[in-house]
């Protein structure tokens, strides 16, 4: 076991017994949602995973320790601190560990810590990707590179169209990252069930997905897989409404010169403000939906 890693006793027991475990990220708590909905959602997601027969492992850095599994108090600490917690992707981990700080892990950093702990399935809302205008800015989330090399399957609701979905698909193809649709042929766009992009394969059950992942890793084809799970119809948003908010947020980002690791949190917060409570309600529901599917996949695996 890694000397910097603490595995929560419940998670360690499940792993030792070969029981299903689902990892959860923490940037969605600190940077993806406002207090107190962030803490309520994080705890409810854990409960949904338990109700579906798996053990949740929310991942973060607490006082410089990599954590696979948090207490409710630790969730509250990150949720209250919000944007003041360091958003940690791959490059940030050593700094926060060496300085013994708290850190909220992105999809990339969560995959790294999950893999260290031996957790194979991870549920989140949306992944990072190739940003619009990346031809000029080179803004490509480190999440994609992590998916190319770290063996963790990521269940998400696709990617938000704050990103360039077509370029994101191309990048994933080049890096050999499979994109599996759960009962869908098109890549979901987070708030909406569809986009103009396709998935690689339409999978209709958790067992089918588990067989795919098992075969991939048994052949030493390193890297993750994306399982794209569309938001339930009743919680999906109107496409024109969400597109307008995203375009407005992108415009403001450019005007204000927001760049680098601040881009994604800025866009997420601004889109949430511009759409009122609607987008937050959708966001919460799609995370619950992904948690259920991830628990089923972890059980099947
Ligand atoms: N997309 C969302 N919600 C999120 C994120 C992305 O819809 O909370 C977070 C995730 O933690 C993701 C990170 O890994 O943003 C990507 O940030 P960046 O683009 O800076 O790599
Ligand atoms: Mn970026």
HEC string of 50-78 equals: HHCCCEEEEEEEECCEEEECCCHHHHHHH
From 25, 46, 146, 296, active-site residue: 25
Residue 84 reports pLDDT greater than 90: yes
Q: Model confidence over 154-176: pLDDT tens digits?
A: 999 999 989 999 999 999 999 99
CB of 179 closer than 8 Å to CB of 199: yes
Q: Model confidence over 197-206: pLDDT tens digits?
A: 999 999 999 9
pLDDT of residue 4: 98
Ligand nearest to the CA of residue 162, numbered in listed order: 1
Which positions make up the binding site for substrate? 87, 107, 141-143
Mean pLDDT, rounded, of the chain: 97
Span 120-132, mean pLDDT?
97
Span 270-292, mean pLDDT?
93
Cβ of 141 below 6 Å from ligand 1 = yes
The values of phi and psi at residue 160, to 5°, are -70, 150
pLDDT of residue 22: 99
For a pocket test of ligand 1, which of 128, 163, 250 has the largest count of ligand atoms closer than 8 A to its C-beta? 128
User: In this structure, what token pair is assigned to residue 170?
Assistant: 């191309």
Cβ of 130 below 6 Å from ligand 1 = no
Which positions make up the binding site for Mn(2+)? 139
The strand pair at 21-24 and 225-228 is best described as unpaired
Residue 194 reports pLDDT greater than 90: yes
Q: Model confidence over 139-154: pLDDT tens digits?
A: 999 999 999 999 999 9
Cβ of 128 below 6 Å from ligand 1 = yes
In 3D space, the residue among 152, 157, 124, 118 whose CA is nearest the CA of residue 49 turns out to be 124
Return the residue whose CA atom lies nearest to atom 3 of ligand 1: 126
- Ligand 1 atom closest to Cα of 104? 11
25 is catalytic: yes
Element (H, E) at 24: strand 21-24
Ligand nearest to the CA of residue 29, numbered in listed order: 1
Cβ of 295 below 6 Å from ligand 1 = no
pLDDT of residue 278: 86
Cβ of 164 below 6 Å from ligand 1 = no
CA separation, residue 30 to residues 10, 86, 199, 201, 285 (Å): 24, 9, 30, 33, 18
Residue 186, strand partner residues: 198
Cβ of 125 below 6 Å from ligand 1 = yes
Prediction pTM value: 0.98
- Ligand 1 atom closest to Cα of 89? 21
pLDDT of residue 35: 95
Beta strand extents in 157-271 (DSSP E only): 179-182, 201-203, 225-228
Residue 92 and residue 205: Cα distance in Å, rounded?
36
* 140 CA from centroid of ligand 2 (Å): 5
Element (H, E) at 153: strand 153-156
pLDDT of residue 292: 98
Residue 1 reports pLDDT greater than 90: no
pLDDT of residue 276: 83
Q: Angle, to 10 degrees, between the axis of helix 239-256 and the axis of helix 263-274?
A: 130
In 3D space, the residue among 153, 147, 134 whose CA is nearest the CA of residue 263 turns out to be 134
* Structural domains present in the chain: 1-119 (3.40.1790.10), 120-301 (3.40.1790.10)
Ligand nearest to the CA of residue 89, numbered in listed order: 1
- Ligand 1 atom closest to Cα of 141? 21
160 is catalytic: yes
Residue 297 and residue 207: Cα distance in Å, rounded?
7
pLDDT band at 277 (very low <50, low <70, confident <90, very high): confident
């Amino acid at each position: 076991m890694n000397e910097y890693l603490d595995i929560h006793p419940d998670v360690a027991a499940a792993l030792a017994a070969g029981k299903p475990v689902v990892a959860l990220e923490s940037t969605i708590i600190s940077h993806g949602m406002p207090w107190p909905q962030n803490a309520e959602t994080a705890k409810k997601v854990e409960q949904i995973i338990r109700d579906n027969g798996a053990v949740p492992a929310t991942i973060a850095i607490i006082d410089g320790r990599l954590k696979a599994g948090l207490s409710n108090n630790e969730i509250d600490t990150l949720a209250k601190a919000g944007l003041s917690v360091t958003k940690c992707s791959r490059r940030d981990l050593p700094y926060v560990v060496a300085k013994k700080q708290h850190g909220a892990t992105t999809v990339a950093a969560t995959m790294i810590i999950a893999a260290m702990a031996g957790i194979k399935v991870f549920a989140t809302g949306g992944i990072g990707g190739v940003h619009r205008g990346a031809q000029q800015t080179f803004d490509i989330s480190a999440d994609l590179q992590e998916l190319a090399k770290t063996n963790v399957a990521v269940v998400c609701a696709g990617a938000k169209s704050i990103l360039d979905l077509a370029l994101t698909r191309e990048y994933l193809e080049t890096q050999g990252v499979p994109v599996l649709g759960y009962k869908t042929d098109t890549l979901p766009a987070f708030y909406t069930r569809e986009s103009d992009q396709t998935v690689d394969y339409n999978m209709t059950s958790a067992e089918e997905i588990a067989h795919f992942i098992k075969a991939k890793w048994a052949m030493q084809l390193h890297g993750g897989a994306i399982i794209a799970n569309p938001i339930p119809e009743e919680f999906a948003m109107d496409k024109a409404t969400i597109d307008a908010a995203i375009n407005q947020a992108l415009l403001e980002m450019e005007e204000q010169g927001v760049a680098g690791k601040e881009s994604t949190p800025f866009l997420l917060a601004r889109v949430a403000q511009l759409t009122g409570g609607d987008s937050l309600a959708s966001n919460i529901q799609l995370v619950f939906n992904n948690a259920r599917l991830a628990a089923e996949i972890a059980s099947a695996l």
